């Protein structure tokens, strides 16, 4: 099994875990910020992540289950919506060709939280993402591709707007590893990330 196949297998496993956790969270959540009845959440998300001396926009979703009032674990998946174009080698004789990139990831995370008052919590998650980066030419033909791993330590601020709706702001650092691309390096995907998540809980249990 080569590197690309390993990354694809890990991505598939993480996606299945994420799907299971998201399904669980829609049926078993009960948010009580002060107690152990907190069960989990499901959330759409948008991230602004470092890319090639700028930032790219990513969308996705995540789900988590809580083991107690502070410790949680879950899965997520996200893909690029817009990564800026650049000039590079199309590997067909043109070293200044217009190119663009696409990236998609799935992964796992573990998080520890500290309540602050009645309406806020601070989380410190570590996300581990596996995925693939494609470099395409102006005709959307793939010039090259590579697997990639991204480590994302982060800090998050949860606002308990209601027991069912928890907007969350996050700041993270991307540490990209393992890609083998001619036109871009791991450094092009490493740097600060800013995110917004809309975490939803199901009705509290009777």
- Name the residue with tokens 């663009």: 100
Rounded distance between C-alpha atoms, residue 176 and residue 189, angstroms = 6
Element (H, E) at 169: strand 165-177
**Domain span at residue 152?**
3-200
Does 7 fall in a domain? yes
- Per residue, the 3-state secondary structure of 3-33, as one string, reads HHHHHHHHHHHHHHHHHHHHHHHHHHCCCCC
Does 186 fall in a domain? yes
Does 205 fall in a domain? no
Does 74 fall in a domain? yes
Rounded distance between C-alpha atoms, residue 28 and residue 41, angstroms = 9
Handedness of CA 118, 161, 74, 189 (dihedral sign): negative
Rounded distance between C-alpha atoms, residue 26 and residue 176, angstroms = 32
pTM for the full predicted model: 0.80
CB of 42 within 8 A of CB of 27? no
Sequence-distant (6+) residues with CB within 8 A of 65 are: 21, 24, 25, 28, 39, 40, 72, 73, 74
Rounded distance between C-alpha atoms, residue 183 and residue 179, angstroms = 11
Angle at CA of residue 41, ends 35 and 43, nearest 5°? 145
Does 92 fall in a domain? yes
pLDDT tens-digit series, residues 91-123:
998 999 999 999 999 999 999 999 888 889 999
Does 59 fall in a domain? yes
Query: What pLDDT shows up at residue 31?
Result: 43
Does 206 fall in a domain? no
> Number of folded domains in the chain?
1
Mean pLDDT by 10 residues, the chain (206 residues): 50 51 43 56 95 95 89 95 94 94 97 90 96 95 96 96 91 96 96 96 52
Any idea what the CATH number is for the domain that residue 101 is in? 2.40.160.20
Does 78 fall in a domain? yes
């Amino acid at each position: 099994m080569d590197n690309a196949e390993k990354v694809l297998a890990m991505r598939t496993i993480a996606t299945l875990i994420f799907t299971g956790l998201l399904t669980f969270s829609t049926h078993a959540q009960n948010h009580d910020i002060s107690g152990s009845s907190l069960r989990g959440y499901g959330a759409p998300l948008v991230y602004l992540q470092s890319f090639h001396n700028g930032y790219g926009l990513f969308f996705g979703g995540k789900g988590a289950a809580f083991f107690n009032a502070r410790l949680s674990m879950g899965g997520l998946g996200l893909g690029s919506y817009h990564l800026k174009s650049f000039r590079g080698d199309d590997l067909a004789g043109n070293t200044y060709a217009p190119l663009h990139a696409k990236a998609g990831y799935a992964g796992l995370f573990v998080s520890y939280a500290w309540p602050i008052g009645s309406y806020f919590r601070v989380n410190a998650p570590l996300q581990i993402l596996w995925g693939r980066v494609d470099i395409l030419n102006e005709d959307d033909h793939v010039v090259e591709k590579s697997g990639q791993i991204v480590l994302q330590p982060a800090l998050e601020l949860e606002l308990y707007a209601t027991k069912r709706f928890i907007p969350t702001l996050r700041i993270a650092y991307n540490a990209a590893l393992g890609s083998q691309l001619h036109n871009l390096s791991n450094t092009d995907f490493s740097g600060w990330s800013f995110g917004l998540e809309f975490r939803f809980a199901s009705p509290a249990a009777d």
